[in-house]
């Protein structure tokens, strides 16, 4: 359980991604303390982007090409979570849209104007893991959301298309 109380599935589905940062290393933790030991440390923070830059990045990302085979790959992955015998709840269409948009953003951040299957595969866990609920039997057998998603994608043919 994370946070004060668990969110209902419908609310979890509204989050685009679930990313766990983990704990900092010992040196990173010492650096954090060093930076924040002064009372005015927050006043030293500076913006790295402005709202206009964010809008431009979003616009650029939305223009990244997603070939039909990649789009179908995304849909097949998400639909495979529904009716899966290891899941009590599969992903909603928001999962498809999230995987689509995040794949575009990843391609853009990597300087490409097109999405690859590797873009999609690298985002499956952060975009879908919080949208699915493993059965209690699956959990007892050691299958959490990441393992089930890995099993699902291993059974789906990866599109190969000349770009």
pLDDT at 34: 83
Give this prediction's pTM.
Answer: 0.84
Percent of the chain with pLDDT over 90: 75
8 part of a folded domain: no
Residue 39's pLDDT band, with cuts at 50, 70 and 90, is low
Question: 107 in a domain, yes or no?
Answer: yes
Q: What is the CATH number of the domain that holds 114?
A: 1.10.8.80
Instruction: Count the domains in the chain.
Output: 1
Asked whether residue 88 is assigned to any structural domain, the reply reads yes
More confident residue, 2 or 45: 45
The domain of 84 spans 51-154
The reply to whether 144 falls in a domain is yes
For residue 1, pLDDT beyond 60: no
Mean residue pLDDT of the chain comes to: 91
Position 2 in a domain: no
Tokens representing 23?
């704990």
Q: Is residue 10 part of a domain?
A: no
Q: What is the pLDDT of residues 50-67, one digit of tens each?
A: 999 999 999 999 999 999
Provide the b/e sequence for 93-124 (b: ≥16 CB within 10 Å): ebbbebbbbbbbbbbbeeeeeebbbebbbebb
Q: How far apart are CA 51 and CA 57, in angstroms?
A: 10
């Amino acid at each position: 359980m994370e946070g004060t109380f668990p969110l209902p599935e419908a609310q979890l589905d509204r989050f685009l991604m679930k990313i766990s940062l983990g704990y900092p290393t010992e040196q990173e933790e010492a650096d954090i303390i060093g930076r924040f030991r002064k009372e005015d440390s927050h006043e030293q923070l500076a913006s790295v982007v402005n709202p206009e830059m964010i809008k431009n990045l979003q616009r650029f990302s939305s223009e990244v090409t997603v070939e039909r085979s990649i789009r179908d790959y995304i849909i097949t992955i998400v639909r495979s979570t529904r009716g899966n015998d290891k899941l009590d709840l599969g992903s909603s269409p928001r999962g498809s849209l999230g995987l689509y948009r995040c794949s575009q953003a990843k391609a853009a951040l990597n300087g490409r104007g097109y999405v690859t299957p590797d873009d999609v595969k690298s985002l499956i866990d952060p975009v879908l893991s919080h949208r699915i609920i493993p059965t209690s039997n699956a959990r007892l057998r050691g299958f959490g959301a990441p393992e089930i998603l890995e099993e699902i994608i291993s059974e789906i043919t990866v599109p190969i298309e000349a770009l």
